[in-house]
Structures are given as structure tokens and as C-alpha cells.
Amino acid sequence: MKLLIKLTGALHAEMLHDLTRKHPFAAERVGFVTARIGTLADEGRLILLTGYHSIPDSEYVNDPSVGARIGSDAITWAMQAAYHGRPRREGIFHVHIHGHRGETGMSGVDSREIPPMIPGFQGVGRYAAHGIIILSLNHGSTWVWLPGQQEPVQADSMAVIGAPVQVFNHGRKK
Amino acid sequence: MSADRYSRQSFLGPDAEELIARYTVAVPGLGGGGSHIVQQFAHIGFQNYVLYDGDAVEESNLNRLIGAKQADAMAETPKLHLAKMMIYDLQPHAKIRGFACNWQEHPEPMRECQIVIGCVDSYKGREELEIACRRYLMHYIDIGMDVHGTDRPVIGGQIIQSSPGGLCMRCMGFLTDEKLAQEAARYGKAGARPQVVWPNGVLASTAVGMAVDLVTGWTRKCRSHAYLVYDGNEGTVSESITLRNLKTPCRHFSTADVGDPILVEL
């Protein structure tokens, strides 16, 4: 099944700008992205990112054992967004950036800390797709929990529809 | 593949060849304009295509349909077949998903594309393509020509770029309710309008140039929209005066209204 991500160039720029800002104490920043689903041929799915939510400095928890830890207010915002997005089947994606170039993946901390958030999003927005986006300076990888699925699927590509267009293929598949 | 193949377009950037090969383009309408488009895309190096046209070659197409021969009119060769052959002759490994129908009958494959170049006749057809491109986040480039008057014919045309987040064809003054209503009063028929090969070539070449710029960014213009007007009598392409002082964001499309439409029970 083909699984593609699309977003506008403006949204991509907004995410990059926010996520690369220095935080007073956290080593990296986190954000949330809202997304809707589109249907592709042969039961493929298109995930269309619609908006970015920057997490205020005050909603980070000072925890030197991880790059960034967000507090309950930030999680509450995401849960409420998943709830209010139900009529539009709008899901929530956790996003952060790894400060290198090229395709990136989940670190050990990412794998341990972020996926446990997803069932909470699914609980309040069961018909939406939720997931995790990890950007690099010139690439992006996405793991998607489609409605009703307990395991994620890694997206085949992320297309930034801006000027110029950018397409980040998983595994450099063409 | 010879390293010389794309040596004359190396100014597009060191990664241009790879970028051009990576992206997927759709061309709904493979007639006078679309046949130019696919030919140029294939020359440039595009490898991934989604094509739509349900018509077959007719005698009256031979004045402008690139790739069509007398035998195609006699054999009623599908225009889709001509387009595929034109691409495969230049790019034997191209991935082409072709549909001998209107795009509305199989819209899903088009949604994977990054760029759609619409070569349709009607305003309604343009409006529907633009809506689909906004909803599934694709750059839409529209081309079209017309000949006005009979005593002193005037050839006109347009090349429009409508991109998600940018101004749309209504913002730019090209699509209006009046034009759509007039067309609807003719039962949606664009009619057998005059069509000739050279204006189609100018419009298609300009549109392909826009698409290549969107893929490679070689001009560094970073256009969010464009509306170029072709004057076939003067032989000029210039920016539409309707864009002057037009700085407001698009009032007709929200970047949040994307994806499959949801029916909400009231």
C-alpha cells in the first residue's frame, strides 16, 4: 500500500523555523502538526498536513536525559486538537528535527518516548491518522498510525509543495 | 545512458536530472496543448506521468496535435496512445499511468503528483482541476488559447500557476462567475473553437518552463502564483495587469480544506 505525505512549502518552512530555534534549556524542540487523509489508487493513503502548533518554552520540562520533554499542558493541547478534529477526521502528528542532512530515523529515545503517545490520540480521534514526523535539515520521515491500526507504517515519501518542490523518498526509492 | 544527454541543461542545477526524474506530473488533456507538454517533459527527462484523455485522433486534429500522423486519423488512434509512444520513444523506462477518460473518472492517481498541467477547454474543467489540486496539494498550471473575432482575428491565451497557499484563478481574475455562467448557458460546451499549433507551442513551452522552475528552482523566483497573458498577434507573453496591487492572500481556498471531503451529519 502506497503511503504519501504532502504539505505546503509555507508549512514546511514554519516547522523548520520553529524547530531549529534555541530553547532556554531543552536540547531540541517539539511541535504538533494536524493532518487529514486522502485516498489514493489501490487503497493507498495520502496524509495532508494542515497546520503547525508550536509548543511554548514554558511547556517544556527540564529533563537532561532526553533532548526535549514536554509537559502535560502541551499533551493536553494535542489531545484536545485530536478531539476537536474528529468531525474533519483530522489527526495529530508529533514532530521534531534531527540537526543533520539526509534521511533520518527514530533514535532509541524517540522509539521509547514518542510512540506511547499515539494510542491516546487514537482514543479521542479514532477515524483520523496520527503519527510521528522527524525532519532533518533537508529530508523528512513519517510514521503513520492509520485509523484502527495498532502498528505504524513508514511513509514512502514526503512531498513539500512549495517553490521549489521537494520530495523526500524513504530509502531513496524512486 | 550517455552522460551527454542532459549536458546542455546543466544550468538547471547539479541535482536537476535526479529531481526531474523523481517527481510525478499529470497532464489531463492530451490534445493541441497536452501533446506539446508531454513531448517536452520527455525531452527534459521526466520519468513519472499520469495522463488522461479519452479522445481519438481525428482529421481536424492534424493541424496541431504533436506526434499525430495521417494514419492516426484514419486508424482513430487514441490520443493517450500517441502521448505514451512519444514519451517511451524518448524515455523507455518512464512510468506512465494513462487513462483513456476524463480525470474525474479516475482522480486518485493524479493525487500523487506534485504538478498538474491542465490542458482542458472549459472554464468549468479548469475550476474542477484547480479545486482538486488545492484539496490534494498540487501545483496547478493552466494553459489555454482562443481566437476572438473573424474580420480581424485576435489570438489570445494564458498560462496560470495556481499553487496551494497562493492566489487562485479567481483571485487573479481569470475565473469568474460570469464566465462560468455563460459557459453553463451553453450546456458546458466550450465549442469547436479555433486552435492552431504555434500558440499552443508558446503556451505549452512557457508552462513547461514554469514546471521545470518549480522542480529545480533554477530561476530562484520562488513563484507562489503566476498569470501570464499571450498576445498571439503581437507575439508577446506578459504578466496580466490583474495581478497589479494584488497582495491579499487567497480568499477562496483554505490550506486547511484538504483531503477527502467529509460528510458531516447535522
Main-chain dihedrals φ then ψ at residue A33, nearest 5 degrees:
-125, 135
Q: Which residues of chain A does B139 touch, with a Cβ-Cβ cutoff of 8 Å?
A: 161, 165
**Is ipTM beyond 0.90?**
yes
Decide if B266 is inside a domain: no
At residue B150, the pLDDT reads 84
Q: Are A163 and B221 within 8 A, CB to CB?
A: yes
A27 touches chain B (CB under 8 A): no
A16 touches chain B (CB under 8 A): no
Segment B69-96, tens digit of pLDDT: 999 999 999 999 999 999 999 999 999 9
Residue of A nearest to B94 (CA): A174
Beta pairing partners, A115: none
Boundaries of domain holding A25: 3-172
Mean pLDDT value of segment B164-183: 95
Long-range contact list for A56-62, CB < 8 A, 24+ apart?
A57/A23, A57/A24, A60/A23, A60/A25, A60/A26, A60/A30, A62/A25, A62/A26
At residue B188, the pLDDT reads 59
Q: Are B262 and A88 within 8 A, CB to CB?
A: yes
Q: What is the DSSP letter of A55?
A: P
Report d(CA A79, CA A114) in Å as an integer: 14
Decide if B93 is inside a domain: yes
At residue B191, the pLDDT reads 61
At residue B91, the pLDDT reads 97
pLDDT at residue A174 greater than cutoff 60:
no
Are B100 and B50 within 8 A, CB to CB?
no
At residue B248, the pLDDT reads 76
Q: Are A159 and B137 within 8 A, CB to CB?
A: yes
For residue B190, the SS3 value is coil
Beta pairing partners, A7: A160
Number of domains observed in the structure of chain A: 1
pLDDT at residue B265 greater than cutoff 70:
no
At residue B4, the pLDDT reads 87
Give which of B66, B1, B5, B63 is closest to B38, Cα–Cα.
Answer: B66
One-letter amino acid of B187: Y
Please give, rounded to a whole number of angstroms, the shortest distance from the CA of A7 to a CA of chain B.
Answer: 7
| Burial class for B225, CB neighbours closer than 10 Å (0-12, 13-18, 19+) | buried
Which CATH number goes with the domain that contains A116? 3.40.140
Give which of B63, B168, B49, B184 is closest to B123, Cα–Cα.
Answer: B184
Report d(CA B132, CA B115) in Å as an integer: 12
Decide if B1 is inside a domain: no
Give which of A172, A169, A146 is closest to A1, Cα–Cα.
Answer: A146
At residue B186, the pLDDT reads 82
Percent pLDDT > 90 in chain A is: 97
- Comparing CB atoms, the residue among A7, A48, A163 nearest residue B222 is A163
Boundaries of domain holding B137: 13-243
Report d(CA B102, CA B100) in Å as an integer: 7
Mean pLDDT value of segment B102-112: 97
| Burial class for A15, CB neighbours closer than 10 Å (0-12, 13-18, 19+) | buried
Mean pLDDT value of segment A48-68: 94
Report d(CA B58, CA B93) in Å as an integer: 29
Which CATH number goes with the domain that contains B173? 3.40.50.720
- Higher pLDDT: B244 or A96? It is A96
Q: Which residues of chain A does B255 touch, with a Cβ-Cβ cutoff of 8 Å?
A: 8, 10-11, 50-51
- The secondary structure element, H or E, covering residue B128 is helix B123-135
At residue A173, the pLDDT reads 45
A56 touches chain B (CB under 8 A): no
Report d(CA A155, CA A159) in Å as an integer: 11
Q: What is the mean pLDDT of chain B?
A: 94
pLDDT at residue B192 greater than cutoff 80:
no
Report d(CA A130, CA A37) in Å as an integer: 10
Report d(CA B11, CA A148) in Å as an integer: 48
**What order of strands is seen across the sheet that includes strand B225-231?**
B95-99, B48-52, B24-28, B115-118, B139-148, B154-162, B225-231, B236-239
Decide if B68 is inside a domain: yes
Decide if B249 is inside a domain: no
At residue B116, the pLDDT reads 98
For residue B105, the SS3 value is helix
Are A144 and A129 within 8 A, CB to CB?
yes
pLDDT at residue B189 greater than cutoff 70:
no
Decide if B77 is inside a domain: yes
Number of domains observed in the structure of chain B: 1
Q: What is the mean pLDDT of chain A?
A: 95
Mean pLDDT value of segment B128-155: 95
Decide if B254 is inside a domain: no
Mean pLDDT value of segment B18-45: 97
Mean pLDDT value of segment B13-32: 96
Segment A72-94, tens digit of pLDDT: 999 999 999 999 999 999 999 99
Q: Are B114 and A167 within 8 A, CB to CB?
A: yes
Mean pLDDT value of segment B223-231: 96
